[in-house]
Each structure stands twice: as structure tokens, then as C-alpha cells.
Amino acid sequence: MIPIEYWLILSSLLLAVGVYGVMTRRNAIVVLMSIEIMLNAANINLVAFSSYYSSLHPTLGTDATGQAFALFSIAIAAAEVAVGLAILLSVYRRYQTIDVDKINILRW
């Protein structure tokens, strides 16, 4: 069994990649993809802790709560992608660009 620390390091790295992408990429599609990476980092955490919890309490059998939450999270991520892409499509129709540096009219 792989120790929990490995999973946590993996998910931290994935989150850092996602955050880096959100903060630096100009293309809104790539920003959206980076957000997906951050979500998946969280999903890994959920599954990892779920498994870790079961290993700590062998008498309780397999606890699937964390895994079920991961499934919910994936479903919500799918919905979020749909909404996000729809917004980006509208933005593109309006401004002919999806460069997030240029989409900044909501300001002082």
C-alpha cells in the first residue's frame, strides 16, 4: 500500500501546477483547464484520505464516503466546465478574444 504522504505530495504538486496555470496563462481556456487540475488534486486528496481512514480502522470495513464525494466532485466539475465554456463562448462572441488580460472592464 502506498503511504498517504505520497498521495498528498502528488495532489499538492497538481494544485501548485493548477494555481500556476490560473495565475499566469492568458488564454481563458487554459485557465479553465488549470482549474480542472486543481479540482482533480482535491479529488485525489478525497480518495487518499478515504483509503487512509479505512486502513486506520480495519474493524469498520471499507468506508466509501470520501470516494462518493470524489464522484460528486467530478460530476460538479463537469457541470462547471460546461458553464465555464458557455461563458467563454459568450465572451468571445462579444469581444472576439478570450485573453483574460483584455477582459477587464469590471474595474474602477
Partner 1 sequence: MDVLQYAWLIPVFPFIAFILIALMPKRTLGWEDGWGYGIAGAGGALALSFLVIWEVMNGNTLTEDAPRTTWLIIGGYEVTFGIWIDQLAALMLLVVSIVGTLVVVYSGGYMHAEGETRRRYYAEIMLFISVMYGLVIADNYLQMFIFWELVGLCSYLLIGFWYQKPSAASAAKRAFIVTRVGDIMFMAGIILLFKYVGNLDFAVLFDVNSGAAGAPTVPSDILILSTALIFGGAIGKSAQFPLHEWLPDAMEGPTTVSALIHAATMVKAGVYLTARTYPLLVQTPESLLFAAVIGGVTALIAATCALAANDIKRVLAYSTISQLGYMILGLGAGGYLVYHLQNPSGYTAATFHLMNHAFFKALLFLCAGSVIHAVGTNDMRLMGGLRKHMKITSTTMLIGALAIAGVPPLSGFWSKDEVLAAVYHAGDLDPIFLLLWVLGIATAFMTAFYMFRMWFMTFAGKARSDYHAHESPRIMTIPLIILAGLAITSGFALFAGDGFKAFMELPIEEHVLAGHESAMDVAVEIFTDPLTYVSLALAVVGILLAYRMYYMPGFDRSVFARGTAGTLQRALENRWYISKFYDDFACKVWYGFSLVCDAFDRRVIDGAVNGFSYLGASIGGIIRKAQSGNVQRYASLIILGIVILLAFLLFVVPWGGW
In the complex, which residues of this chain contact partner 1 (CB under 8 A)?
Answer: 19, 22-24, 31, 100-101, 103-108
d(CA 99, CA 27): 5
Cell numbers at 87, concatenated: 461563458
Closest CB 17 distance from partner 1, rounded Å: 13
Q: Which is nearer to partner 1, 39 or 51 (CB)?
A: 39
Closest CB 58 distance from partner 1, rounded Å: 31
d(CA 35, CA 10): 16
Closest CB 22 distance from partner 1, rounded Å: 5
Do residues 21 and 41 make contact, with C-beta atoms less than 8 angstroms apart? Answer: no
Do residues 35 and 44 make contact, with C-beta atoms less than 8 angstroms apart? Answer: no
Q: Which is nearer to partner 1, 4 or 30 (CB)?
A: 30
Q: Which is nearer to partner 1, 8 or 22 (CB)?
A: 22
Q: Which is nearer to partner 1, 23 or 79 (CB)?
A: 23
Beta carbons within 10 angstroms of residue 41's beta carbon: 20
